[in-house]
Amino acid sequence: MKAAFIDKSRSLNIIDKDIPLIKPGEALVKVHMCGVCGTDIHIYEGVMPWAKLPLIPGHELSGVVVDVGRYVDSVSVGDAVTVDPNITCGLCRYCRSAKRNLCPKMESIGVTRDGGFAEYVVVPISQLYRVPSGLSLDEAAFTEPVACCLHGIARLSIKPGEDVLIVGAGPIGLIHLQLAKRTGAGRVIVAEVNDMRLKLAEKLGADLTVNPSREVVAETINGFLKGKGVEVAIDAAGGSTPLTLALNCLEPDGRLLVFGVASENDAWPIKPYDIYKHELTIIGSFINPYEMDSALNLLASGAVDVKPLISHIISLNDLEKALKREIPNTIKILVKP
Ligand SMILES: [Zn+2]
Ligand SMILES: [Zn+2]
């Protein structure tokens, strides 16, 4: 089979290798689509300490089961599936207390073991979710990122009518936008430096879009909301600059979700006095423990529409270009191996 293989940082080769063998409790999935995510770029650049090289990356995938190992009766050959890439131990205190996304023994398909940028991938059946009828496999490749966003939104518990700022209008920001609207947010404002992405945010229901390279976001929001800030801010960009921007737009008693992946060496200067005086809450959100089914439901019902997010469908041969950020005007790039 053809596979994209990273042996060391900034070195990706398309190789020919044997189709992997399955063990009892596993299935062989023929990959239909695998989304390119910021995490893949970090793995390629060698700044994802969690990743284990050499590796076939790719963790946002959909496909069809083509073989099953012994002791498998929950899926059959021919089933259309999507994959929860995060395999947890089930035994640690996090796994046993409904916080399995914090499992210290976690293995992740496409991060610590071979993933979906290949024609075939081996998946333990605990990680497989059947794709509901009516949902295309292109859309099903978004299940994991939608599940992660759902986890973040759940941690924020947005109350009906609360105004929300989303910083970043990449695929994650645009999913958060739709989820925030669905959970009853008042006005949803999106800040983003790329005008093409801002236009799409507007189409997907943003009440106000702001470009921080031209405007002072806090001032524009203050004008739009007639003298107030937002109750909730979501960083869907990653790093200290968008976090500072988001924090500056919060009302007293506001909540900030740290969702975007910052580089490991990034540090964020904040004024403890501001957190204290305005009773601000900073909330982290890491992958998702149990949101895959809900994400599939939202995708299948159309409540979250990811079709407009697909900007490019590429082959494995163009993956390295994507990881080098050499493809212009992207929202979500899907790879069809
Ligand atoms: Zn991802
Ligand atoms: Zn565990």
2.40.400.10, 3.40.1280.10, 3.90.180.10, 3.40.50.720: which CATH number matches 2-142+306-335? 3.90.180.10
CA of 212 relative to ligand 1 center, distance in Å:
25
Give DSSP secondary structure letters for 21-41. Answer: PPPTTEEEEEEEEEE--HHHH
Cβ atoms of 261 and 248 closer than 8 Å: no
Kindly report whether the global pTM for this prediction surpasses the value 0.95: yes
- 3-state SS class at 66: strand
Ligand nearest to the CA of 107: 2
- pLDDT by residue for the chain (337 residues), tens only, comes to 999 999 999 999 999 999 999 999 999 999 999 999 999 999 999 988 889 999 999 999 999 999 999 999 999 999 999 999 999 999 999 999 999 999 999 999 999 999 999 999 999 999 999 999 999 999 999 999 999 999 999 999 999 999 999 999 999 999 999 999 999 999 999 999 999 999 999 999 999 999 999 999 999 999 999 999 999 999 999 999 999 999 999 999 999 999 999 888 899 999 999 999 999 999 999 999 999 999 999 999 999 999 999 999 999 999 999 999 999 999 999 999 9
CA of 107 relative to ligand 2 center, distance in Å:
10
CA of 145 relative to ligand 1 center, distance in Å:
6
| pLDDT reported for residue 275 | 97
| pLDDT reported for residue 264 | 80
| pLDDT reported for residue 158 | 97
Ligand nearest to the CA of 101: 2
CA of 18 relative to ligand 2 center, distance in Å:
31
1.10.3760.10, 3.50.50.60, 3.40.470.10, 3.40.50.720: which CATH number matches 149-284? 3.40.50.720
The domain spans of the chain are 2-142+306-335, 149-284
Q: Give the C-alpha distances (Å, rounded to integers) separating 206 from 186, 232, 336.
A: 11, 15, 31
